[in-house]
Structure 1
Amino acid sequence: ATVTDTPLMEGIKHALISTGPAYLISLVFFFAYGLEFSGGSAAESATYVEILRTIEKSFNLNPISLLPVFVVIGLIAWKKPTIPTFVAGIAVAAFLGMFLQDVSLKNMMNYMYSGFSIHTDSAFVDKMLNRGGFTSMLSTIGLLMTAAIFGAPLRTAGVADVLLDYVRKFARNSRVMAFCVMCLHTLFFMITGAYYVSYPVVGSMTKDMFPKYGLQRKNLMRMMLDTGTGLAPLVPWSTTGSYTASTLGVANIAFFAFAPMLWLSIILSAVYALTGIGMAKLEEQPAEQEEGSRFNGQLAKE
């Protein structure tokens, strides 16, 4: 949202045109596929039982624990500012943690800073739960800073201009332009393996092209989400892909067919780009901005 100059909630709502159908289709797929295991025999493994029993023994499981989720969703529905919304969710969750789980304020603050820590009878559960906190995000923050630094030499060296000229060469209209930008971000992400790098670099390079072709920048936000966050678990050398494969113990290509949510959103986004369906357009769109050839001619005059 930041790199494309798009209001967060507005961008999220627009992203639903690709992630929404993909999510619904995935639900139908998992429901139909899950009927094969309706007896529960496949799920009743020793590890599954160990996880449930350990969590039930270690925590006070109460439906009230879902309150922070509803608080955040409610504030989003009321269109409240983003940061106060998340702060409210954190505050409610912290209060419930102290009340339901009998955690002191000092320990709660330590959990927020350095991550949750617990020692149970299950090493597997300890590995799942002992994580998080502000310090766990420092590597991500550092990566974002590195991405910003990495993007500056690309601009200064003229790499951005070369890539954009290449896109403009084929972008004779808004549909081709949008699809080319989508392919450009996919390629950049496949090379870097981190959308923390590809988002700021590609986003900053291409965000001004969309208004010139009569499209709103939230289209770019949606396409980068689909080809970044959506594609990440499927790319073995990406940070998300390597984490997913190592955690599940399954090769990335092996669960490709069983993760339709990921690639369906990419397919839908590509269809929208090529057909123009669902593409948010600017309210006032000069005729010469629609055609890429006219836009190039205008740039030459300027």
Structure 2
Amino acid sequence: MTPAGHRLLQLCSLTLAAGAVALLALAACGSTPAPDHAAHAGMPGMDHTGTATPGAAPSGMPGMAGMAGMTTDEGLTAERDGYRLDSPATELPAGVPVSYPFTITGPDGRPVTDFAEVQTEKLHFYAIRTDLTGYQHLHPTMAADGTWTADPTALAPGDWRLYASFTPNTGPRQGKEFVLGRTVTVPGAAGAVPLTAAVPLPAVGDSATVDGWTATVQGELTAGKAGPLTVTISRDGRPVTDLQPYLASYAHLSAFHEGDQALAHLHPITPVAGDHGGPTLTFYALLGRPGNWRVFLQFRTAGQVHTAELTLHVA
């Protein structure tokens, strides 16, 4: 083959490969893939975590970490790409409402004050104990100097991991989503708040009931490989069709890995159409670690947010 013919063959191969990736994204998401993560931040069904955990890219799906609904596990470090979660608090009191001050510093060492809105909020804050109990999902406030204040409800004694999920709106990583985490200790006071023993992780199951609503999960997940996860909401055996939008979608799913507390969180790709969500919501999940994950599924009905809890296994 002549050199010109060889170059033409290479060009055709690259074009076909790019087309195959685009078609795969369309088939999985039902929409045209965004050109970059910043372009789709905050849209219904989009993931919060645009940075894949090293070595945990979806099998057979290169370059698609930003696909709708997918997420990787994060929050195991306080710093990434020059952005850092800082707080003067290393301990918090037990059994009483507390305030947790923190800042997000950028590569220049200064507090970041300009954040993009993702799923209706500029920062999502999570708290969970090392035994994966006490889950809290909060939306703190930020002062003009970049100091955030989260107000978790009373914490049981033990070690807790706190997470901040955010997207810088300016700077060298503009539009890139981060999940950073730090650990704090909540000491038990003798005679006041006793030490609380670790709670064993509940058995793996595919359904959970909260406040009379039942969430049933279907789907087999493999670590490092994106796969569909379907959630069906029912009440008294009847399908629920009046879910209301919560954080710009019909549900919010947080999952924490047993052992290291890696966090994954995602929203359904199901389109939002007023207060008429359900009964079935479809997610695309990408969990980078095998083992058991404690899942917290939040959804809204009649103005109230419900949190269903269950344990899923990832092969």
Normalising by the residue count of structure 1, what TM-score does the alignment of the two structures yield? 0.23
Computing the radius of gyration from Cα coordinates, the structure with the larger value is 1
Q: Relative contact order (alpha carbons < 8 A, sep ≥ 6): 1 or 2 greater?
A: 1
Pick the structure with more strand per residue. Answer: 2
Normalising by the residue count of structure 2, what TM-score does the alignment of the two structures yield? 0.23
